[in-house]
Amino acid sequence: MIPMVKRVSTGIAGLDEMLGGGLIAGRAYLVEGPPGAGKTILATHFAMAGVDRGENALYVTLEEPADQLKEDMARLGFNVGSGNFKIVDATPVNPERSVVFSESPDIEFGESFERLLNSLSAELRKRDYQRVVIDPITMVKLTVPNELEYRKIFLAFLKTLRRYNVTVLMTAEVEKSDVEKYLVSGVIRLLRVESGDKIVRAIQITKFRGSAFDEVMRPYKITNQGIQVFPEETVFI
Amino acid sequence: MIPMVKRVSTGIAGLDEMLGGGLIAGRAYLVEGPPGAGKTILATHFAMAGVDRGENALYVTLEEPADQLKEDMARLGFNVGSGNFKIVDATPVNPERSVVFSESPDIEFGESFERLLNSLSAELRKRDYQRVVIDPITMVKLTVPNELEYRKIFLAFLKTLRRYNVTVLMTAEVEKSDVEKYLVSGVIRLLRVESGDKIVRAIQITKFRGSAFDEVMRPYKITNQGIQVFPEETVFI
Amino acid sequence: MIPMVKRVSTGIAGLDEMLGGGLIAGRAYLVEGPPGAGKTILATHFAMAGVDRGENALYVTLEEPADQLKEDMARLGFNVGSGNFKIVDATPVNPERSVVFSESPDIEFGESFERLLNSLSAELRKRDYQRVVIDPITMVKLTVPNELEYRKIFLAFLKTLRRYNVTVLMTAEVEKSDVEKYLVSGVIRLLRVESGDKIVRAIQITKFRGSAFDEVMRPYKITNQGIQVFPEETVFI
Amino acid sequence: MIPMVKRVSTGIAGLDEMLGGGLIAGRAYLVEGPPGAGKTILATHFAMAGVDRGENALYVTLEEPADQLKEDMARLGFNVGSGNFKIVDATPVNPERSVVFSESPDIEFGESFERLLNSLSAELRKRDYQRVVIDPITMVKLTVPNELEYRKIFLAFLKTLRRYNVTVLMTAEVEKSDVEKYLVSGVIRLLRVESGDKIVRAIQITKFRGSAFDEVMRPYKITNQGIQVFPEETVFI
Amino acid sequence: MIPMVKRVSTGIAGLDEMLGGGLIAGRAYLVEGPPGAGKTILATHFAMAGVDRGENALYVTLEEPADQLKEDMARLGFNVGSGNFKIVDATPVNPERSVVFSESPDIEFGESFERLLNSLSAELRKRDYQRVVIDPITMVKLTVPNELEYRKIFLAFLKTLRRYNVTVLMTAEVEKSDVEKYLVSGVIRLLRVESGDKIVRAIQITKFRGSAFDEVMRPYKITNQGIQVFPEETVFI
Amino acid sequence: MIPMVKRVSTGIAGLDEMLGGGLIAGRAYLVEGPPGAGKTILATHFAMAGVDRGENALYVTLEEPADQLKEDMARLGFNVGSGNFKIVDATPVNPERSVVFSESPDIEFGESFERLLNSLSAELRKRDYQRVVIDPITMVKLTVPNELEYRKIFLAFLKTLRRYNVTVLMTAEVEKSDVEKYLVSGVIRLLRVESGDKIVRAIQITKFRGSAFDEVMRPYKITNQGIQVFPEETVFI
């Protein structure tokens, strides 16, 4: 008997359409793009789409301070004050000690992943979350410079998250993500294509296990209401 | 006296046609491609083509957890419940201890290949398998960073598999496969070619020892029934 | 309730227009460009735009000696003699001992950032500054060759500056900036595009958190009055 | 007095024509190409061209097992059963201990070349060989990672072979051959040029000391009778 | 009060025109180009333009022996015999011990810069020089492989030269100059552009602090009287 | 008083024409090119042009064995039997101990250059040579992996040769020559340009200190009489 796929909205209608209805529940996805591409905005859409449906969403911020992040989210009209929405400030400069990064560079190896996982597990056990954002995975990755070990740790990380049945969206700097693309269930790529004197923003799904999807590169815009994807239009490069 | 070649279907009609009837029995092949190219789906076709003919097929999964893999295979309509089909979960995060990867990074060197080989040999001695999938070979490769040693170990690995007279299909990440392409009997390449705003999927046989083959790049699609290759069509790039 | 954004002029009318009114107060920005692109001139515009409005501006010069810098600023007509404008000479060859760089290469690791921060904090506590220029961040960065540590230190650095509620402009050599682009709130890129026998200067905003902005590459000129940006024109490449 | 050049057929009529009659006797040549280019088939033509003329040919296989190699040669119609043809299995996984590769990675440095040379010399003293194939030189090369030492050892290797007055054909993986091209007497390059959706196979002589030669890239095919070169045709790229 | 800029002729009329009248006195400049571009000739023009005006010029040659250099200068018609012109042979093979390079590779780190500086300072104290050439800076740079240290040492070096109020022209191999371009006051680039079967020589000012300048790439020629720049012509590439 | 330049023929009329009459006596030149470009043939022309004029020429062969080299030279019609022509076999496999390369890899550093220099000096003191060929410089270079040391040693090497007033031609593999191009008095580049299915051979002078020269890329051919340069023709690329 073939199980039906439960779809999870990304909060961006055009992107859901490209995904054939949304992400597959209970799996982990990667959003990669250059600085200024809107990775954080996309991740916020995803989290808030859950909050708007009465789900609980956990947002782990690893580089931008939580207060500055909230400010930017609020300005885009997201309901950051909702009780269903929780931000964990895991930046290394969090005044109440970072939950992820060690003070000492010597004991960093791999441990940050374990700390992140512990902190996530603790939170996931407290409440019934449906969505988790990790924004970005980059710095945690840098604590495991050996590729083989990173793969092992990352797979273990995904495995543990699977146990809680949450849908996970991770962001990644475009130069720093490669291995992960093979290991997650799907990859959404944000691009900037210069054509003449214009920067055209484009979004593309390059991998989506377990589902058909729109493989075409589509334009998107960052507006005062966040990201808008145009799934009927094409990008000329 | 020239021995006749026994052909083995890949389970994909168009690909068999490109191969001049199928793979050559008893040899090892490599399928390489980027994330989302469908390497796992192609490997599943190969394994299931055997199962459908009453052969035994062994599928070693090294990165995607066996349960998630089965889910995706079932959704594509493959008969994963068949008694002739066996999945071995050799991911590093397998709860009943990984059959391949060591817990300790220090004793990894080359040993993972030996463990994989031992685990395969044990399984191959238990039952009369005709087909083996190793999906992907990548992480095992990473345990042998010295190229010379890797070549030796990989050749020994192929040699041992030859003894069991199984046809072997290995998948590989496209950036991580190079040496293997010289050592295996054939290479199937999955590509994504961007032309304008479209991703065109293409399949190409770049090496096939002991047989003539179609050297032309052909389009393929990933549908709800898996991969479909169009051996009469061409790809414009 | 969504907080209103306070805008801060860059001192260059065309650039303010591209930024939708100016930079966002209290955040940190990066200006990157090749040698001769005018990074120092742009930074001087930013500092002096504050001075002209009665604000206090602090200019930390890390490579060009303060006296030579002042000479060049004065020649462009900037009011370097204003009591609201303070230059700190943090070059390694400052005769009264450098405030930032250690004499000994052995104790450099990360410490330069701490020294820069201490020196900045001391100055920021003394007077109520609204604007800070760090020109360039490059050499300080080189004291932290480990990327993970650099990210941590840089984030801590930004965090501390946020406490003083100053708007910060950092310059960076184009080959040496990558990580920072992900960590700051905005990035202004100065380019030189060779077209035929001409060098066309172009300015582009590639990231601007919390605001809409003009994503198009615009021409600029360096004249005897400094930088002039043409926000209505486009650059053909 | 100028010595006359003795020409040695490659077994491929079109290639002999490109070479102005064949290789020069008593010298060493390199055939380089990507996986699947037909390096082994070309080397077999060369060896068998000798066998067909009553000469003795020695074929050292370093990666493909001798039995599998013979199978493929036989299928192409080559007379592998001839008493004049001898295959030495020097793969690292040869059951009767490899004649070339050490078991221990520690004592590998350069020694593999010595072992290969000793094994070759022993064989060359036993019988009067005119042709030697080394297929491929790659793994032996990897045992000497220092470039200066490799050059010295390789030159010594060529010098010794010259003493036996044999014509030598070595194959090499295209990414792994560079130094050798400067040290051998000639280089034959096998290429695959993708033009549109087609792979066009091309052969080119890029170096041939002591002889004029056809410098033009010519098409070739791999058929059921082996390689066929078209010395009158050209390749459009 | 804005100080007037004192201009210093390069000795090449067309280049002076591109520079808006000449270099700025008391600052340091870099000329970079490939082998054969004429860097040494340009530097000689600069030194001799001073000599012709009754100034003293110091020419430090670090790679080409002083006698051979003088021969080539004389052949181009330069007045190398003038009492105002002094060549210091700082090549590592100077018979009366090199003033710059140590015999021992172990004590090289940074010390060569100190030696060069000491030797320059001694000379600059002896006589009132207006112009200094360092041709090339490359080998001295190689003695400081750590980039951070190099920047510090180079800035200290420039600082010291500033004290003597000399205008400095340094030459650099094009592949070896990068950091310096950010640290000096101006950069002149010599290029060779191949167009069809021709080498077109082009000169370009890419940086010139404190002055407007011609940013266009202009053709130049090396004739029997040295370098001739055509500031009205353009280069088509 | 400007010294007259003494010109030295390269033995190739077309190349002499490109050089404005020939090389400058008493200086060192570099010929670089890919395998099969004819570097050795060009060097032989240069040596024999001296022999034909009654000068003495010394040819140091560092990779190709002297006997094989003589064979190829003779076949091209060169008078290798002349008493004025001396070949020194400095290959590492010279039966009477190499004059240049040490047996032990440990004592290689820089010493090979010293040995080559000693061996050259000994020979140059014995007889009055006008021309010296070093073919190729590559392996000697590899014995000095530190760039700074290499520059020093190479400059000392050139300095010593200058004392004997010989004109020196060195050959170099194209990938291995870079530093030398800045240090020698001239560079001749041999190229192969693929255009369609043809290899077009081209020769180009990229540097020639102390003389005007033809900067245009010119075609050349390798015929049964050696190299022929066409200084009136151009190469279309």
- Tell me which chain F residues have a C-beta less than 8 angstroms from the C-beta of E107: none
- Tell me which chain B residues have a C-beta less than 8 angstroms from the C-beta of D197: 216-218, 234-237
Residues of chain B with pLDDT below 50 are 1
Per-residue pLDDT tens for F1-15?
455 679 999 999 999
Residue C224 near chain E (CB below 8 Å): yes
Give me the pLDDT at residue F93, please. Answer: 75
Whole-angstrom distance, CA of residue D206 vs CA of residue D217: 9
Give me the pLDDT at residue F129, please. Answer: 97
Residue D3's closest CA among F70, C205, A114, E206?
A: F70
Tell me if C75 and E151 make a contact (CB, 8 A cut-off). no
Q: Who contacts E5 (Cβ-Cβ below 8 Å, separation ≥6)? A: C75, E24, E25, E210, E211
Question: Which chains form contacts with chain F, at 3 or more CB pairs under 8 Å?
Answer: D, E
DSSP class of F135:
E
Residue C57's closest CA among C31, C78, C33?
A: C78
F95 token code pair: 């039966």
The beta-carbon neighbor of C155 closest among A93, A173, A196 is A93
Strands F131-135 and F57-61: parallel
Whole-angstrom distance, CA of residue D133 vs CA of residue D136: 9
Per-residue pLDDT tens for C77-112?
999 999 999 999 999 876 556 667 766 655 566 788
Tell me if B196 and A237 make a contact (CB, 8 A cut-off). yes
The beta-carbon neighbor of B65 closest among A148, A159, A210 is A159
E12 token code pair: 């090449």
Sign of CA dihedral A83, A85, A86, A91: negative
Full-model pTM: 0.89
What count of other Cβ atoms lies within 10 Å of the Cβ of residue D134? 26
DSSP string, C11-67: S-HHHHHHTTSSEETT-EEEEEE-TTS-HHHHHHHHHHHHHHTT--EEEEESSS-HH
Average pLDDT over residues C120-146: 93
3-state secondary structure of E114: helix
Mutation to test the F interface, candidates E73, E197, E220, E225, most F Cβ within 10 Å? E197
Q: Does the structure show a pLDDT above 60 at F186?
A: yes
Tell me if E207 and C36 make a contact (CB, 8 A cut-off). yes
Q: Who contacts C221 (Cβ-Cβ below 8 Å, separation ≥6)? A: C201, C227, C228, C230
Tell me if A151 and B63 make a contact (CB, 8 A cut-off). yes
Strands E167-173 and E28-33: parallel
The beta-carbon neighbor of A63 closest among C3, C183, C210 is C183
Question: Which chains form contacts with chain E, at 3 or more CB pairs under 8 Å?
Answer: C, F
Flag whether F touches E (3+ CB pairs, 8 A cutoff): yes
Q: Does the structure show a pLDDT above 50 at D47?
A: yes
Span of C17-21, D210-214, E80-84 with lowest mean pLDDT: D210-214
Tell me the pLDDT of chain C averaged across its residues. 89
Q: Which residue has the higher pLDDT, F57 or D223?
A: F57
Query: Between the CA of residue B185 and those of A197, B162, B209, D193, D214, what are the distances in Å?
Result: 49, 12, 5, 21, 32
Q: Does the structure show a pLDDT above 60 at D105?
A: no
Per-residue pLDDT tens for A139-192?
889 888 888 889 989 998 999 999 999 999 999 998 777 889 999 999 999 998
Q: Does the structure show a pLDDT above 80 at F194?
A: no
Q: Which domains does chain C have, with CATH numbers?
A: 27-226 (3.40.50.300)
Per-residue pLDDT tens for C190-218?
998 876 656 789 999 999 998 889 988 89
Whole-angstrom distance, CA of residue A235 vs CA of residue A206: 16
Give me the pLDDT at residue B196, please. Answer: 61
Whole-angstrom distance, CA of residue F15 vs CA of residue F22: 8
Whether the CB-CB separation of B189 and D173 falls below 8 Å is answered with no
The beta-carbon neighbor of F72 closest among D206, D209, D237 is D209
Return residues 94-153 of A near C (CB < 8 Å).
101, 105, 108, 136, 138-139, 142-143
- Tell me which chain E residues have a C-beta less than 8 angstroms from the C-beta of C197: 216-218, 234-237
The beta-carbon neighbor of A101 closest among C2, C152, C208 is C152
Give me the pLDDT at residue A1, please. Answer: 44
Q: Which residue has the higher pLDDT, D95 or E132?
A: E132
Query: Between the CA of residue B222 and those of A17, A183, A231, B8, E178, what are the distances in Å?
Result: 18, 19, 20, 22, 49
* 3-state per-residue secondary structure call for F206-223: EEECCCCCCCCCEEEEEE
